[in-house]
């Protein structure tokens, strides 16, 4: 069963205990000690109260320290309070579980204190495999916590997610990411009446540009438009490529009246920096809207009106009546 706790993924399942030694006399106590020390991942014995009772292994050099300094200390000695609470909660869950408790968690420099060199230079992701022990340690219930460095797989996961949400030509978020953002802000609007406006625009005479100069020229125009968006828009604005030469800009916490000068600034920057004109339609989330698609539809209608009126302009949605309370 997967759940969420303090921003980390948690999994619990049954673990079959296995003891496999061909001959009990095969290894001497010294050899067993050496074998435990050679384990790549650090394996901590942690008590219910959060005391580091022992450490085995930790030979993997990808860790920012070998963990030996932690033995004898408590979680509160080496971690910030929020992280302490999270670790204590995971220990309690593992102690209450008959099986293995698995959790993924990040550890950043500002999470760590009281050890040489403090925290890692950059955030490191770990997978913790936590198993309760059948005996007391230092007079307390205790767990075995094995920490594995999963930074490489997390970075790959982040990279793949970013690629899946980024338009390759423009470098802007793609349609999938845009729809997710629109959903998020529409839900905020429904719950808290937080305003948000949407600009839909495209490049004037884009088809003619492609026909006269080829698709490479069209591709360059799209990439240039994306660059102007990054320059002309505010940091909180969210520009995305919808498809073809059509772009959408989500403006959070912005009414239509506040959004209009921002849209005009973008239009003017396009003319001044590229010699290309755009036409756009502007709409705002309104009480009574059932979905963000209605907001996009009004912006799209305003865009076509801007085209009919001569292009190189921003047209606002036409909506009669004052804003109604939901």
Choose one of 158, 188, 208: the last residue of a domain: 158
Q: To 5 degrees, how large is the angle CA 87–CA 92–CA 94?
A: 95
Are residues 40 and 178 both part of a single domain? Answer: no
- How many structural domains comprise the chain? 2
Q: Is beta strand 314-316 parallel, antiparallel or unpaired with respect to 278-284?
A: parallel
The predicted pLDDT at position 174 comes to 97
Are residues 73 and 204 both part of a single domain? Answer: no
Among 104, 131, 113, 111, residue whose Cα is nearest residue 69: 113
Q: What is the mean pLDDT of each run of 10 residues along the chain (326 residues)?
A: 40 46 76 84 95 89 73 93 96 95 92 72 91 96 95 91 93 96 97 97 95 93 97 97 96 97 98 96 96 97 96 88 43
- For residue range 67-111, what is the model confidence (pLDDT) as tens digits? 778 999 999 999 999 999 999 999 999 999 989 999 999 998 888
Question: In degrees rounded to 5, what are phi and psi of residue 79?
Answer: -130, 155
Question: In degrees rounded to 5, what are phi and psi of residue 93?
Answer: -65, -40
- For residue range 107-159, what is the model confidence (pLDDT) as tens digits? 988 888 877 665 577 889 999 999 999 999 999 999 999 999 999 999 999 89
Residue 307 CA, distance from chain mean position: 38
CATH number of the structural domain spanning residue 181 = 3.30.70.270
Distance CA 209, CA 205 (A): 6
Are residues 119 and 138 both part of a single domain? Answer: yes
Are residues 206 and 73 both part of a single domain? Answer: no
Residue 325 lies in a domain: no
Among 222, 219, 280, residue whose Cα is nearest residue 251: 280
52-56: strand order across its sheet: 2-5, 8-13, 100-107, 124-132, 142-149, 43-47, 52-56
* Residue 263 belongs to domain spanning: 165-316
Which residues, including other chains, have CB under 8 Å from residue 150's CB and lie 6 or more apart? 104, 125, 126, 127
Among 79, 68, 72, residue whose Cα is nearest residue 52: 72
pTM of the model: 0.67
- Give me the residues paired with residue 284 across strands: 197
Distance CA 173, CA 180 (A): 11
Choose one of 158, 176, 203: the last residue of a domain: 158
Residue 160: Cβ-neighbour burial (10 angstroms; 0-12, 13-18, 19+):
exposed
DSSP string, 143-173: EEEEEEE-HHHHHHHHHHHHHHTB-TTT-SB
Q: What is the CA radius of gyration of the chain?
A: 29
Lookup: tokens for 183: 């959903």
Eight-class DSSP state of 137: B
Residue 27 lies in a domain: yes
Among 251, 201, 238, residue whose Cα is nearest residue 222: 201
Choose one of 158, 178, 201: the last residue of a domain: 158
Are residues 152 and 170 both part of a single domain? Answer: no
């Amino acid at each position: 069963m997967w759940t969420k706790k303090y921003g980390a993924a948690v999994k619990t399942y049954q673990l079959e205990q296995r003891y496999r030694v061909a001959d009990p006399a095969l290894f001497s106590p010294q050899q067993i000690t050496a074998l435990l020390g050679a384990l790549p991942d650090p394996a901590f014995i942690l008590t219910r109260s959060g005391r580091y009772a022992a450490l085995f292994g930790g030979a993997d050099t990808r860790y920012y320290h070998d963990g030996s300094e932690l033995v004898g200390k408590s979680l509160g000695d080496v971690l910030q309070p929020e992280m302490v609470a999270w670790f204590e909660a995971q220990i309690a869950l593992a102690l209450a579980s008959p099986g293995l408790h698995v959790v993924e968690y990040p550890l950043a420099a500002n999470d760590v204190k009281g050890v040489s060199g403090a925290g890692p230079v950059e955030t490191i992701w770990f997978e913790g495999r936590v198993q309760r022990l059948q005996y007391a340690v230092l007079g307390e219930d205790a767990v075995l916590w094995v920490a594995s460095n999963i930074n490489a797989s997390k970075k790959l996961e982040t990279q793949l997610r970013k690629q899946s949400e980024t338009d390759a030509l423009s470098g802007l978020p793609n349609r999938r990411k845009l729809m997710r953002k629109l959903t998020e802000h529409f839900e905020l609007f429904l719950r808290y009446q937080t305003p948000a406006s949407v600009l839909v625009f495209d490049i004037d005479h884009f088809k003619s540009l492609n026909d006269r100069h080829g698709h490479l020229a069209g591709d360059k125009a799209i990439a240039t438009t994306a660059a102007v968006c990054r320059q002309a828009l505010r940091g909180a604005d969210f520009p995305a490529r919808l498809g073809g030469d059509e772009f959408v800009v989500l403006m959070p916490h912005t009414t239509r009246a506040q959004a209009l000068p921002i849209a005009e600034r973008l239009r003017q920057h396009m003319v001044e920096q590229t010699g290309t004109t755009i036409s756009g339609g502007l709409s705002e989330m309104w009480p009574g809207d059932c979905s963000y698609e209605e907001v996009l539809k009004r912006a799209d209608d305003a865009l076509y009106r801007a085209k009919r009126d001569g292009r190189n302009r921003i047209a606002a949605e036409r909506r009669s009546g004052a804003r109604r309370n939901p």
